[in-house]
Structure 1
Amino acid sequence: MQRGRVVTTNARAGTAERKQEPSARPPLVRELLLVVGLFLVYKLGRQAATGHTAEAFRNADRVWDWERALRLPGEGGVQALLLHDSTLVHLANTYYATVHFPATVLFLGWLYWRRPAHYLWSRRVLAALTGAALALHLLMPLAPPRLLARTGLVDTGRVYGPTVYGASPAHDTLANQFAAMPSLHVGWALMVAVGLIAATRTRWRWLWLLHPLVTLFVVVGTANHYWLDAVVAVAMLGVALAFLRAPGRPGAVRGRARSLVVRSGGGVREPAAGPAAVPVATSGAAR
């Protein structure tokens, strides 16, 4: 007698989902210490890159010339949009000063509690991106366009406020103002968007891309970064993402497993509702 093959897709789904969850949520204290430690190393490294004023301005001249040679749009066009209204400028400065770190922390915190596998992946990507950025800051100190007189751009933070930088880069003990390339504002913002798109299934998840787009508009319009700073940040993030692959999308494995009903010539008989129900594939049995 010829029989159809019975496939228990619920069991397959459970097995596949367990394979897609490589690790449980890591210990919170360990993760806090690790993230804080990485942040302190980065801040200390940035401070070690200060004091290269002449080199930073030479590099700024080169970057400005490269952008003109590449026919990139002028940063002044973006800033002109902001300067139409002082309130808009103030909002852009506030966004630059207050959204960068809190948004990234909230992103990691949400993933930690809701998507542990995606948290581990995102933390590794951000660490790789930040480490590569620190290396470039050390190798190529770069004055931002707001400090380069030939750009004709306004230091909107100093003129309109608020600003996170001291009046003089040489006396700024809180930040290295010669660490313009790459723009970690753009790199981190894009990773937040990529991570949330990968970790969620809602049809609205693509709206998270507004965060890096607004960030790009802000960092260029406030003259804190060149276009090339953003380009390099995106390229570095792309390399990190290529080597550190994301875990499977939540719910995708369950959907795929349920579709693996093996047909042997007949239709699929729908099971009765209930937790123990399993789809059964049947073929016309020879009697």
Structure 2
Amino acid sequence: MNARTEPAEAEAEPPDAIARPPLLREFLLVAGLFLVYKLGRQLATGHTGNAFHNARRVWDLERALHLPHENAVQSALLHGDTLIHLANTYYATVHFPATLAFLVWLYLRRPAHYIWARRVLAVVTTAALVLPFTFPLAPPRMLAGTGLEDTARIYGPSVYGPPSSDHLSNQFAAMPSLHFGWALMVAIGLVVATRSRWRWLWLLHPLITLLVIVGTANHYWLDAIVATAMLGITLAVIHPPRRTATTAGRGTGRLAPREGVLAGAGR
């Protein structure tokens, strides 16, 4: 009797969200993701002439598409030194810590969502590193004739030095904006992984990030649009975990991985 009931009980037991991955392995994977992000942008240095040529093409395309002028956002931020300083500080200090805190929280509280988010970020980041090789792009703060100022250099704080001596980043890799792409993924991930009626407020993070990257003249609108498209394609392929009928009925909130093209990857 017991031998017959054990399999049934095992099947009735909710297929718990994917077990939390080993901490050391995940630390190395996430550290590797950030390292690839930094090193990949450095490897794509050079092509200064093409970067400025592409910048003019992007600027002209935005005007042809009747996108709002980046100047309007920057003018709003320049109404006071405090506001522009806060924008520069947000750009310099929120990007990496917010993404890392997001991954740590998911790892501790939503392991299945963590694996999903880590995969999405890895794919988007890797894909984003290809564009600077094929389409180097100078940011709008470097483009003459736009009326835009390099707010970080003037008002501080600045994370960039002169492009010729900046060995920590590639300043000619404006497209896509991973500042915005990562911020949007953080918001989407938290909206999907939580159930609070206030969870939609997480969308303020990418909204503020968008206004900051444009207002400080570090990115064009199109940089954020391309990042959004890349994230959208990735999310269409790599699906988040879903509730099962068993767990939904019990109200446990446990999740099972959604079957998808890449559901078994990266374990």
TM superposition score category, shorter chain reference? 0.7 to 0.9
1:49 aligns with 2:37: no
TM-score, normalised to structure 1's length? 0.81
State the partner residue of 1:254.
Answer: 247
Q: What amino acid maps onto 1:177 in structure 2?
A: Q
Cα distance change of structure 1 residues 212 and 253 upon mapping to structure 2, 3 Å threshold: farther
Give the structure with higher Rg (CA).
1
1:225 aligns with 2:219: yes
1:27 aligns with 2:31: no
State the partner residue of 2:54.
Answer: 59
Aligned equivalents of 1:69, 1:214: Cα separation in 2? 25
State the partner residue of 1:136.
Answer: 131
Give the secondary structure class of the aligned counterpart of 1:81.
Answer: helix
State the aligned residue count: 243
State the partner residue of 1:208.
Answer: 202
Q: 2:238 aligns with which of 244, 251, 257?
A: 244
Q: Please give the root-mean-square deviation of Cα atoms over the aligned residues, in Å.
A: 1.8
Per-residue deviation, 1:17: 3.7
1:77 aligns with 2:72: yes
Give the secondary structure class of the aligned counterpart of 2:145.
Answer: helix
Higher RCO by CA contacts (8 Å cutoff, separation 6 or greater): 1
| CA deviation vs aligned residue, 1:68-121 (integer Å, no higher than 9, x gap) | 110100000000100000100000000000000000000000000000000000
Per-residue deviation, 1:253: 5.7
Contact 1:89 1:156 (8 Å CA) reproduced: yes
Contact 1:16 1:257 (8 Å CA) reproduced: no
Q: Report the identity percentage.
A: 69
Runs of 4+ in 1 over 6 A off after TM superposition: none
Gaps of 5+ in 1: 1-10, 259-287
State the partner residue of 1:165.
Answer: 160
Q: 2:145 aligns with which of 117, 142, 150?
A: 150
Aligned equivalents of 2:86, 2:71: Cα separation in 1? 18
Q: What amino acid maps onto 2:83 in structure 1?
A: L
| CA deviation vs aligned residue, 1:148-179 (integer Å, no higher than 9, x gap) | 0121101000000000000x212111111001
Per-residue deviation, 1:257: 6.3
Q: What amino acid maps onto 1:219 in structure 2?
A: I
